[in-house]
Structure 1
Amino acid sequence: MTAPTRIAYGEDPSQWLDLHVPAGRSRGLVVVVHGGFWKAQYGAEYGAPLAKDLVGRGWTAANVEYRRVGIGGGFPATLDDVDAAIGAAARQDPTGAAGPLVALGHSAGGHLAAWAGARTRFERWADGPPLTHVVSQAGVLDLRSAVAQHLGDGAALAFLGDAGEPAYAEADPLAQVPLDVPLWAVHARDDDTVPFEQAATYVQTATAAGADATLVEVTGGHFGIIDPSSPAWDACVEVLDSIG
């Protein structure tokens, strides 16, 4: 296993990704999007163990950093970064994988991964490579509810900034159902940071709208799901194994 390659997809210090490439034939590309309620104090170090684990399982993995609230991020800059990072990872993947292009994200990263599954509907991001699958790990999938419940001490409202009501159509995964690609919402009922109902409501609404959406219930709270030694992460691996 070789060291990852650092790729800058923009000029800002937060616009980079680490591309991990397997030794043999790649199973496809997984874009790992870290969480932290879109806040500046949380970075790509949370995604690094997952990318390392995935490359050992034969996936090309891109661990993405992006501008967060407080350092140039928020709506729509953070969305611009995720779109650009997916494009950069797909272009610079030396395996040239013709297989799956998966976004896997935790917490706020789950929001960004689900959003990325719908992003090409909008003119601003229409030219980006479309995803084939989404895996949300304890994701914020109902942005309007997150604002109403003041999740993360008002983090969702801080992410939206002064964009106002029109931003929900472009930024809220629940407003974008049905997705054109399958989504798995992997979430622990004992999560005390992002409520389990975020996943349950999304999947119920999406399936009623005809989407391919699956709720995968795990245990381990909010962070067990990003621990490569945990059963919750094993559940994510099982989802990926079903893809490619």
Structure 2
Amino acid sequence: MAELAAEADWPREILDRDYSARASVSAEVFEAEMRNYRSQSEAVKDVASHLDVIYDAESGQTLDIYGVDAEPRAVFVFIHGGYWRMLSKHDSAFMAAMLARHGIATAVVDYRLAPEVDLAEIVREVRAAIGFLWRDGARFGVDPDRIYVGGSSAGGHLTGTVLAGGWHDAFDVPEDVIKGAMPISGLFHLAPISRSFVQDWIKLNEQSVRQLSPAENLPRVGCPIVTAYAAGEPDGFKRQSAEYHRLWSEAGFPSTLMEIDNRNHFDVVLDLANGEAALSKALLRLITGDR
């Protein structure tokens, strides 16, 4: 934690380098992966079950549910990335067919983006989605007692915010509402982010850094997690994942750290569409308990 907190005092140019995912690949690779997100998500529409379900009356935000059956199923809630300012649920369902083949539902969450709303509101909306699935998921074929969460990049941060402590009473959910999680390429300590180029649109202050950093708000009740990152990540994402894994483990909660070879910040999450990939196998083990 001390090391990551100290990053906030590093020169801006170093932080910009270490947290610029887009600069870690060519423009052609970045654009190709964005197309892959959308095309592979559109390819799983045959397992779509409930689309555009409003989960939060206040914001009107929706989620899509895939792969449900007659009996309520465990659900993997996926939270997209995009540095809190781009992408949507329409780019984020690519794992749904793989999970459906294993009897697992998928819920893909939309949330409003910065700078339209601030990060506190984005976090509130994602937590509201978890609350909705816990209260009302059974109506849509989801087992509320088997909610698993994951996300990539900014979605990894948002995964951390639903793992964090201190929010459950306000949303009327139990502290153990999340049964397991897979943050991928996540951001768990926001002080360095607030001193980087990302501050141009995320506008963090000291209070929001403190309250919205998962690493500073570990829960009393923890679940098993798999913290993953790509070998080709910028260094900041690697440091953050390793530190979150360390903190989670030291808190006494089960944690596995995975570095995925031959992947970059953008294509690593697409491994979840491939049931034979190490990342998807780890997710299946997390949800089913099979070893």
Indicate the residue corresponding to 2:149 in structure 1: 103
Contact 2:227 2:257 in 1 (8 A): yes
Question: Amino acid of the residue matched to residue 184 of structure 1?
Answer: V
Indicate the residue corresponding to 1:226 in structure 2: 269
For structure 1, the residue ranges without an aligned partner over 5 or more in a row are none
Change in Cα spacing, 1:194 to 1:238, as seen in structure 2 (3 Å) is: farther
Indicate the residue corresponding to 1:165 in structure 2: 206
Residue in structure 2 matching 1:36, options 60, 77, 82 = 82
Looking at structure 1, the residues matched to 118 and 142 of structure 2 have their Cα atoms a distance apart, in angstroms, of: 31
For residue 97 of structure 1, give the secondary structure of its aligned residue in structure 2: strand
For residue 223 of structure 1, give the secondary structure of its aligned residue in structure 2: coil
Indicate the residue corresponding to 1:134 in structure 2: 181
Question: Amino acid of the residue matched to residue 265 of structure 2?
Answer: H
Looking at structure 2, the residues matched to 42 and 238 of structure 1 have their Cα atoms a distance apart, in angstroms, of: 25
Q: Which has the larger radius of gyration?
A: 2
For structure 2, the residue ranges without an aligned partner over 5 or more in a row are 1-45
Indicate the residue corresponding to 2:229 in structure 1: 187
TM-score, scaled relative to structure 2 = 0.70
Looking at structure 2, the residues matched to 215 and 202 of structure 1 have their Cα atoms a distance apart, in angstroms, of: 9
Question: Amino acid of the residue matched to residue 222 of structure 1?
Answer: H
Indicate the residue corresponding to 2:123 in structure 1: 79
Contact 2:76 2:147 in 1 (8 A): yes
Change in Cα spacing, 1:158 to 1:193, as seen in structure 2 (3 Å) is: farther
Indicate the residue corresponding to 1:208 in structure 2: 250
TM-score, scaled relative to structure 1 = 0.82
Q: Larger relative contact order (C-alpha < 8 A, sep ≥ 6)? A: 2
Q: State the shift of 1:59 in Å.
A: 1.0
Aligned-pair Cα RMSD in Å: 2.8
Change in Cα spacing, 1:24 to 1:216, as seen in structure 2 (3 Å) is: farther
For residue 144 of structure 1, give the secondary structure of its aligned residue in structure 2: coil
Change in Cα spacing, 1:43 to 1:96, as seen in structure 2 (3 Å) is: closer
Q: State the shift of 1:128 in Å.
A: 3.3
Contact 1:26 1:59 in 2 (8 A): no
The number of equivalent residue pairs is 235
Q: State the shift of 1:23 in Å.
A: 3.1
Change in Cα spacing, 1:60 to 1:123, as seen in structure 2 (3 Å) is: closer
Looking at structure 1, the residues matched to 156 and 78 of structure 2 have their Cα atoms a distance apart, in angstroms, of: 10
- Per-residue deviation, residues 194-227 of structure 1 (Å, max 9, x unmatched): 6211101111233223332221121211122221
Question: Amino acid of the residue matched to residue 182 of structure 2?
Answer: V
